[in-house]
Copies of this chain bind each other. A is one copy, B any other.
């Protein structure tokens, strides 16, 4: 900037004015400065700007795994919106490790971003309190944060599971199994609760061994399927509570002669190519990312606003698998 000022024969501050598009610069001076900027290839140092200004024009995004298509889609939506406001996006993955979540989030906070988006894993996010008091806008996504006043954008898990169950009931199924994630996980709790509630509403009793919850993995899924398809009393349909479980179930059933009816929470890439088709309850990660950015803006505009919770609608995409009649 000093060099530019020298080249244009003006003071440092005038260059600053030009760079920031302030109106109080005479047209002729403006030209000279812009010329010098081009000649010297000058670009404002955002780091220094941040130091002066207090906050960096950046959004931090802490997800569970950026390679997970769901979070990748959220990331893309966030990035698209962020770019419109000239914000850069910093991304980190917690890999479902609470300590790592904290590490990554605090590492981002040291960059003093404008906003922080977090898909919470840890029990509490109170380690963010100092930064929140210092003006950081925080928004949770996928799950609510605990221990901090914080906006949240969540899928409408209950409605999604209700749609899945009612879809199967409509097609004549009565013995429906539910295979979900560890109940320590917020979304898993919401989804299994909705499963029980919907079944109860329709007067369909639920055997306890028809509901299996656990960490998605080969052993868990294999054991659960053995129980559910016990020849003495097999289920005719299955609802899976997240995409890792769905994938594992599909792997197990890929070469079975008849696949049971299956409705999966969370869409899978290429699900449309599977035969028989896979009916899914699709979340809307793009809408979630956009909602998060809206909440962040509004939070920055009014830091004292009450924490809001936004539920993003989900969508049942019938692809044939629910229509399989009970055997």
Contact = CB atoms under 8 A, between A and B. Distances in A.
B43 A47 contact: no
Nearest to A87: B107
A109 B254 CA distance: 48
A112 B66 contact: no
Contact of A275 (B67, B68, B91, B254): B254
Given A66-B75, A270-B269, A273-B251, A43 B109 contact: yes
A181 interface: no
A207 interface: no
B45 A110 contact: yes
Interface in A34-93: 41, 43-48, 50-51, 56, 58, 65-69, 72-73, 75-76, 79-80, 83, 86, 88-93
Closest 6 CB pairs of A and B: A41-B130, A67-B76, A46-B110, A47-B50, A72-B72, A67-B72
Given A79-B93, A83-B104, A270-B271, 17 more contacts: A43-B106, A43-B109, A46-B111, A47-B50, A47-B56, A47-B112, A65-B76, A66-B75, A66-B79, A79-B91, A80-B93, A88-B92, A89-B90, A90-B91, A250-B273, A270-B270, A274-B274
Contacts of A110: 43-46
Nearest to A278: B273
Given A66-B72, A76-B67, A83-B104, A45 B88 contact: no
